[in-house]
């Protein structure tokens, strides 16, 4: 079995975490930190996610570590569902022909391994992720049988491809950090590893309850089940059934005796709760819903996870000549290769060792994830490093390091003790902040050649901040760096991802398109054009408000379009974010650079979450945490969130695992059960409340609890945002006269039936809402990653006389410049048609 390892992502603003992709003839594995942007990075490298069976999370469990995991699993689930459908169609044909039916070859589950609070963090997302077609089996590591001795060197997990040793390391502090970062811990107090090892002032929550929610309601491998429990009694439960009880108003797992004869039931009539065996439940049946009940509270973890990974040893080469000399018949050759003893000449026993060469030892690697200095000593004192048998044939250390650790003298001294291994540094200090997604970077460069006012150069740095320690066995982790582990160890077997050729992309824009752009520039600079523009827009407030689409795609991150997010910057008032899909923060950092990103975060006033589909909110926890980090010194800083109560609960439970600043959030949501009377969805605000006069949320036809939203700023500017929905008269009526409408436009007009089925809008329908609303300006966004073509630009431009724009990721357009931007759209459409970009 051949086994390889490839660096799929390293720390950049596009992909904050390091991911290692291990692949063999049967399956794939992921090690490291699948942070936001992971699936987009995998797609850009054409790495198949569908065969992934195990994910080993390194580091401490937090949103930065797993922000991309949900999207990754959903993508695997989508691939699995597609495979099932194809297999069903093939088997239906085989059945009609009387042929044997095929079995599903792809694994239908993913194992997720990690440290403390893994299950709590995954289960916190139960309000937004339900009934997925892939099963998830969680492995939250809470014990450490080797932290004081190297005697027990059995792997903690293994299959027929890999053996994995889990290495939890601990902070060298004797107590948990404060729930809120009001002060720093006492720098004068330190403790040894043995003093602080696995000791907590307060207990972590029991992972079994959260694990059950993950495995039974969120990722249960079937498109049914919604977290509902129905009542029964102990006498009716089965030995393997998952059972819950209510105690003091809380729901807990039942762990007592069962009616299987092994223990006496004291109260066989005790009331308990179980998952229904059928999907439909009668109307008169009492139920409990696990998705509506809070998780048992937990505390911050003090652990971080590292791994030693090795392939299995292989038997030596079989020597048939020797076997014949010993009188072994040919029919017994296979038994010898399988490890069995057979009889040879004169009945003499022939063992495998007599006819097999020396075994080939399995090669391996180390995932050394150390996020801060207070984890270093715990890592260095692990007993595994002194076990020569375990460390034999470990070929590479992958160092996933926090800021400032690449030149830590303790780590450098440790590296010198392992001179035969290769040491690959995967840290933000040592990895260049290159544009890892070449396609969007090159497209942005082409768009800049056409319209430099709306499309600015992306911020990147192809240099290394901190030089690596000297030595031929030390190198920078680069995307695409690949090694073969088995059958032979071989490095540099794959092409490293090159720095994108932005200059070449700029030069590729044809002279014809550049001439169209020059005519557009001349048109929009004409004094008469500017006079008419001023006359037309003189009554629009905050014309200098800048609209920045950060994600204009739908469903999953695509090559050129990320998932939903639109930033609104209003000078003198503040910044507003309409939805916050995975990777939103990275898009801002890539477009504006670190300094300006800090300014944007400090001026944030409100985040609007339109509905609970994953592509609209998975970037929110990391965005809030970044805002909190940049406003930490300002104790009066608050951030408003407009969302439903279920999403508020998600953020609150995530904040139990890490301090994201939840205590500084202000939730201005309306009630979830809004009536059709739109006035019931309007909330009047004081003018000093986040720069808002009012916020209006209107139920729209999409998924449950989907809302169109209008925010009215203190300047009088009214911005209506559809979220995802079918055309809504209620939304158009409630937001009549809005200065800006941002409306989803998932499908082209020739796919109206598909739009109805998926509860989305076509371009024509979105423009119809704009006309009904009498919106002054309209921005179309949320395009299907598969169906929207470049000629949509021409149709949008032709119909609305410059009042309609098609959104592009990382476009920057002022409200007062829509007609200017529209003049460049024919040239952009022509460029997209020529290049094949969408």
Strands 271-274 and 243-247: antiparallel
Pairwise pLDDT comparison (114 vs 289), residue with the higher score: 114
- Residue 389 and residue 343 share a domain: no
For 94-134, how does the pLDDT look when each residue is reduced to its tens digit (9 = 90+)? 889 899 888 876 678 999 999 999 999 999 999 998 778 89
589 located within any domain? yes
588 located within any domain? yes
The CATH number linked to 81 is 3.60.15.10
Q: Distance of CA 153 to CAs 159, 163, 385, 391, 438, Å?
A: 16, 11, 11, 11, 44
User: In the predicted model, what is the mean pLDDT of residues 270-294?
Assistant: 81
436 located within any domain? no
15: pLDDT confidence band, cut at 50, 70 and 90? very high
* Predicted local distance difference test score (pLDDT) of residue 262: 65
For 133-163, how does the pLDDT look when each residue is reduced to its tens digit (9 = 90+)? 899 999 999 999 887 776 788 999 999 999 9
Residue pair 500/12 in contact by the 8 Å Cβ criterion: no
- Residue 704 and residue 782 share a domain: yes
- Residue 404 and residue 337 share a domain: no
223: pLDDT confidence band, cut at 50, 70 and 90? confident
222: pLDDT confidence band, cut at 50, 70 and 90? confident
387 located within any domain? yes
- Residue 245 and residue 171 share a domain: no
Q: Is the dihedral of CA 574, 11, 661, 630 positive or negative?
A: negative
For 40-85, how does the pLDDT look when each residue is reduced to its tens digit (9 = 90+)? 999 999 998 988 999 999 999 999 999 999 999 998 888 888 888 8
- Residue 380 and residue 349 share a domain: no
Check whether 2 has a pLDDT greater than 70: yes
- Residue 470 and residue 397 share a domain: yes
284 located within any domain? yes
* Predicted local distance difference test score (pLDDT) of residue 189: 39
For the chain, give the percent of residues with pLDDT over 70: 91
Residue pair 552/810 in contact by the 8 Å Cβ criterion: no
- Residue 304 and residue 271 share a domain: no
Nearest to 320 by CA among 308, 311, 333, 305: 333
Q: How far apart are CA 90 and CA 99, in angstroms?
A: 11
- Residue 145 and residue 225 share a domain: no
518: pLDDT confidence band, cut at 50, 70 and 90? very high
Q: Distance of CA 831 to CAs 190, 385, 790, Å?
A: 61, 57, 9
For 669-715, how does the pLDDT look when each residue is reduced to its tens digit (9 = 90+)? 655 444 444 445 677 776 568 999 999 999 999 998 999 999 999 99
Residue 232: CB atoms within 10 A of its CB come to 16
Domain range enclosing 331: 320-354
Residue pair 719/753 in contact by the 8 Å Cβ criterion: no
User: In the predicted model, what is the mean pLDDT of residues 555-571?
Assistant: 96
* Predicted local distance difference test score (pLDDT) of residue 18: 98
Check whether 193 has a pLDDT greater than 50: no
* Predicted local distance difference test score (pLDDT) of residue 192: 40
- Residue 163 and residue 243 share a domain: no
201 located within any domain? no
- Residue 272 and residue 401 share a domain: no
For 732-752, how does the pLDDT look when each residue is reduced to its tens digit (9 = 90+)? 999 999 999 999 999 999 999
The average confidence (pLDDT) of the chain is 90
- Residue 91 and residue 71 share a domain: yes
Query: Based on the structure, what is the number of domains in the chain?
Result: 4
Strands (E), 225-340: 228-233, 243-247, 250-253, 271-274, 288-289, 303-311
446 located within any domain? no
For 240-273, how does the pLDDT look when each residue is reduced to its tens digit (9 = 90+)? 899 999 988 889 999 888 887 666 777 888 999 9
- Residue 697 and residue 678 share a domain: yes
181: pLDDT confidence band, cut at 50, 70 and 90? low
* Predicted local distance difference test score (pLDDT) of residue 522: 98
User: Two tokens at 518?
Assistant: 């020059």
189 located within any domain? no
For 359-397, how does the pLDDT look when each residue is reduced to its tens digit (9 = 90+)? 889 999 999 999 999 999 999 999 999 999 999 999 999
User: In the predicted model, what is the mean pLDDT of residues 600-604?
Assistant: 98
User: Two tokens at 108?
Assistant: 């239908």
* Predicted local distance difference test score (pLDDT) of residue 178: 44
* Predicted local distance difference test score (pLDDT) of residue 240: 87
For the chain, give the percent of residues with pLDDT over 90: 71
């Amino acid at each position: 079995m051949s086994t390889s390892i490839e660096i799929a992502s390293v720390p950049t603003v596009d992909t904050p975490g390091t991911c290692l992709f291990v692949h063999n003839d049967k399956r794939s594995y992921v090690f490291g930190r699948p942070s936001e942007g992971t699936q987009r990075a995998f797609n850009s490298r054409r790495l198949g996610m569908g065969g992934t069976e195990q994910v080993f999370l390194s580091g401490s469990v937090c949103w930065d570590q797993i922000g991309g995991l949900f999207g990754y699993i959903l993508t695997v689930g989508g691939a699995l569902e597609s495979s099932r459908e194809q297999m069903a169609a093939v088997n239906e044909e085989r059945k009609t022909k009387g042929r044997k039916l095929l079995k599903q070859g792809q694994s239908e589950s993913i194992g997720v391994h990690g440290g403390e609070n893994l299950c709590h963090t995954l289960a916190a997302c139960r309000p937004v992720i339900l009934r997925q077609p892939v099963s998830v089996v969680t492995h939250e590591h809470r014990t450490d049988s080797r932290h004081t001795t190297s005697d027990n060197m059995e792997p903690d997990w293994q299959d027929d491809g890999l053996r994995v040793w889990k290495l939890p390391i601990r902070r060298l502090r004797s107590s948990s950090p404060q729930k809120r970062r009001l002060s720093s811990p006492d720098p004068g107090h330190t403790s040894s590893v043995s003093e602080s090892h696995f000791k907590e002032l307060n207990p972590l929550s029991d992972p079994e309850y959260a694990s059950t929610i993950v495995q039974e309601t969120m990722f249960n491998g079937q498109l049914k089940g919604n977290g509902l429990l129905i009542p029964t009694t102990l006498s009716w439960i089965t030995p393997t059934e998952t059972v819950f009880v209510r105690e003091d108003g809380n729901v807990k797992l039942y762990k007592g005796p069962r009616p299987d004869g092994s223990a006496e039931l004291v109260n066989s009539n005790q009331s308990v709760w179980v998952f229904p065996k059928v999907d439909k439940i009668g109307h008169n049946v009492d139920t409990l819903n696990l998705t509506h009940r809070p998780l048992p509270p937990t505390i911050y973890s003090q652990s971080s996870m590292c791994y030693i990974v090795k392939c299995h040893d292989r038997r030596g080469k079989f020597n048939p000549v020797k076997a014949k000399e010993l009188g072994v018949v040919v029919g017994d050759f296979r038994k010898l290769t399988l490890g069995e003893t057979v009889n040879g000449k004169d009945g003499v026993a022939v063992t495998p060792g007599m006819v097999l060469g020396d075994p080939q030892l399995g090669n391996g690697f180390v995932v050394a994830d150390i996020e801060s200095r207070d984890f270093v000593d715990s890592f260095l004192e692990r007993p595994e490093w002194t076990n020569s048998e375990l460390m034999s044939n470990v070929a590479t250390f992958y160092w996933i390091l926090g800021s400032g650790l690449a030149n830590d003298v303790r780590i450098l001294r440790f590296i010198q003790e392992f001179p035969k291994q290769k040491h690959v540094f995967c840290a933000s200090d040592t990895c260049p902040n290159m544009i890892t997604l070449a396609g969007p970077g090159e497209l942005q460069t082409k768009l800049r050649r056409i319209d430099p006012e709306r499309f600015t150069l992306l911020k990147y740095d192809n240099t290394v901040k901190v030089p690596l320690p000297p030595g031929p066995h030390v190198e920078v982790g680069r995307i695409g760096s690949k090694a073969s582990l088995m059958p032979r160890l071989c490095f540099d077997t794959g092409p490293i991802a090159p720095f994108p050729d932005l200059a070449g992309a700029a030069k590729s824009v044809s002279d014809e398109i550049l001439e169209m752009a020059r005519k557009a520039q001349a048109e929009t600079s004409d004094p008469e054009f500017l006079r008419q523009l001023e006359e037309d827009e003189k009554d629009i407030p905050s014309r200098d408000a800048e609209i920045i689409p950060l994600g204009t795609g739908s469903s999953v991150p695509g090559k050129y379009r990320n998932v939903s997010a639109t930033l609104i910057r209003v000078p003198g008032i503040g910044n507003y974010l309409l939805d916050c899909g995975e990777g939103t923060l990275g898009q801002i950092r890539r477009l504006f650079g670190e300094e300006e990103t800090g300014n944007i975060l400090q001026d944030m006033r409100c985040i609007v979450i339109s509905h609970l589909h994953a592509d609209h909110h998975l970037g929110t926890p990391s965005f809030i945490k970044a805002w909190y980090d940049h406003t930490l010194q300002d104790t009066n800083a608050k951030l408003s969130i407009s969302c439903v109560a279920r999403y508020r609960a998600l953020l609150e439970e995530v904040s139990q695992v890490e301090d994201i600043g939840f205590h500084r959030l202000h939730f201005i949501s309306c009630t979830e059960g809004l009536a059709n009377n739109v006035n019931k969805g309007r909330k009047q605000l004081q003018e000093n409340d986040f720069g808002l006069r009012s916020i209006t949320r209107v139920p729209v036809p999409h998924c449950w609890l989907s809302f169109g939203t209008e925010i009215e700023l203190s300047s009088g500017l009214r911005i209506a945002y559809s979220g995802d929905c079918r055309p809504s008269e209620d939304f158009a009526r409630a937001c009549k006269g809005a200065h800006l409408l941002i409306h989803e436009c998932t499908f082209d007009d020739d796919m109206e039936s598909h739009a109805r089925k998926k509860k989305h809008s076509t371009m024509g329908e979105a423009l119809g809402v704009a006309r009904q609303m009498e919106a002054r300006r309209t921005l179309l966004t949320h395009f299907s990653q598969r169906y929207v073509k470049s000629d949509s630009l021409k149709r949008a431009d032709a119909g609305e006389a410059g009042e309609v724009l098609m959104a592009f990721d990382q476009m920057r357009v002022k409200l007062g410049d829509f007609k200017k931007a529209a003049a460049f759209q024919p040239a952009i459409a022509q460029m997209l048609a020529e290049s094949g970009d969408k």
